[in-house]
Amino acid sequence: MRQREGLIARVKQIRLTGAADDPRSSANLSRPQAAPTLSDLELRIAHLEEQLRGLQDSVHREAVRHEGRLSDLEARTEPSALAVALSRDARERGL
């Protein structure tokens, strides 16, 4: 329960800090805003967690793709693989 209260306090602080920095929000300060309910905050956190999972998946896919490219490059630059490729190229060029 203390975690929720702390989270709500941090969200309120962020909103207040953001409102002070945003000149457009000064007009909104005159009319009172309803405090976010716990369910609103839970929905927002769920949405942020979903976005974070998407970002993590994207980073993982990119890392796997780069790892595959590096492995392929390493395999092609092995001395034995280079010798085979140079020999094949020399035969194709007629050298």
First to last CA, the chain: 79
pLDDT at 68: 96
User: Which residue, among 18, 21, 12, has the nearest Cα to 40 in the 3D structure?
Assistant: 12
H or E segment and range at residue 87: helix 79-93
Quote the pLDDT of residue 14. Answer: 81
Alpha-carbon distance 68 to 16, whole Å?
47
In this structure, the chain runs to a length of 95
The pLDDT profile of the chain, 95 residues, written as one tens digit per residue, is: 677 788 788 888 888 776 555 555 555 555 667 888 999 999 999 999 999 999 999 999 999 999 999 999 999 889 898 889 899 999 999 87
d(CA 30, CA 60): 46
Q: What is the pLDDT of residue 17?
A: 77
Q: What is the structure's pLDDT at 66?
A: 96
User: Are 28 and 19 spatial neighbours (Cβ–Cβ below 8 Å)?
Assistant: yes
The residue ranges of every structural domain in the chain are: 1-33, 37-95
Please give the pLDDT value at position 12. 82
Distance from C-alpha of 50 to C-alpha of 31, rounded to nearest angstrom: 32
